[in-house]
Amino acid sequence: MIKRIRIQIMDLINQIKEKARKLQKRIVLAEGTELRTLKATEIIIRENLAQIILLGNPDTINSIALANGINIVGADIKDPESDVRREHYAKLMVFIRKSKGLTYQQAIDSLNNPLVFGPVMIKAGDADGEIAGAINSTGDVLRPALQYIKTSPGISVVSGVFFMIFKNKALGDNGLLVLADCAVMPDPDEKQLAEIAIATAKTAKTIANIEPRIAMLSFSTKGSAQHPLANKVINATRIVQELAPELCIDGELQLDAALVDEIGQLKAPGSKVAGKANILVFPGLESANIGYKLVQRLAGAEAIGPILQGMAAPINDLSRGCSVNDIVNMVAITATQAI
């Protein structure tokens, strides 16, 4: 069984890598002096997955690579503390955040931080995407990205999805379910929840080529419970139907009605999604974050993510416990999001 899940993951990852290879996007690795990041860089260059930009002091980066026998020839190293574009970037930062009172000097100073330099580099058109988080917290990675890259047109909320791969191939699309928002927005309102659903459909299509069937989850199915929290999900579903009528979506649905055919047909007769969902949109971060970890730990599902969505350019946050392979895979995913 475990072997079968591994094969499914490899199929999906290989499909993503193939796309990334064709795109040849410029991906910033902001933690350029971090050992796993350098090991991943060697593999990414060898597998020709993306053009890598490492941030940090070139002497430090090269000496760490040399001392560990890592070949990073082909990576472009940029030093946030001495880069020739600092003045240009600082002016851009002041322009973006003038309403927040950012001064030129504050901008210059904060550019020393690679987690600021990376997103500004992308905003200036000098890179296509960024990954960090192997040694930094989610908040520290996300904040500058939210401040300078901001959201895609028509989207006001950044969120994060997990691709969950189950041994039970009857679930979702051949054992693949996409869960959102497991990573960012603590308590979305109905409009934000609708945006999360729309963004998740796009991510699922772009990265895994799946045709979305979105279940908007609740503790109620089709009015079985009357509560403001269920109403939030009903209203979010309606907003998606207005904004993106082409999407196959239904809600509010309980988890069993979303996934189990007989229960879906019983509780939501005639629904095109009930019993067949491949995207699960949770009503808030608490249920989503706990939910993905429950199925990962108790059902043995493999989790790929979080993959951030809704940003005008892709930034992805690694877990601090990430492996070299996780970084390689996340670079490929980020490259495919940067279309």
Closest CB 182 distance from ligand ACO, rounded Å: 6
CB 116 within 8 A of CB 143: no
Cα–Cα distance for residue pair 138/136, rounded to 1 Å: 7
| Minimum CB distance to ligand ACO smaller for 274 or for 282 | 282
CB of 45 to ligand ACO, least distance (A): 28
Give the interface with ligand ACO as residue ranges (CB under 6 A): 138-139, 142-143, 146-147, 151, 157-158, 182-186, 289, 306
Residue 208 Cβ, how far from ligand ACO at the closest point, in Å? Answer: 18
Q: Smaller CB distance to ligand ACO: residue 179 or 328?
A: 179
- The number of residues making up the chain comes to 339
Closer of 184 and 230 to ligand ACO (Cβ): 184
Nearest residue to ligand ACO by CB is 146
- Nearer to ligand ACO among residue 270 and residue 321 (C-beta): 321
Looking at the Cβ atoms of 205 and 293, the one nearer to ligand ACO is: 293
Q: Which is nearer to ligand ACO, 75 or 115 (CB)?
A: 115
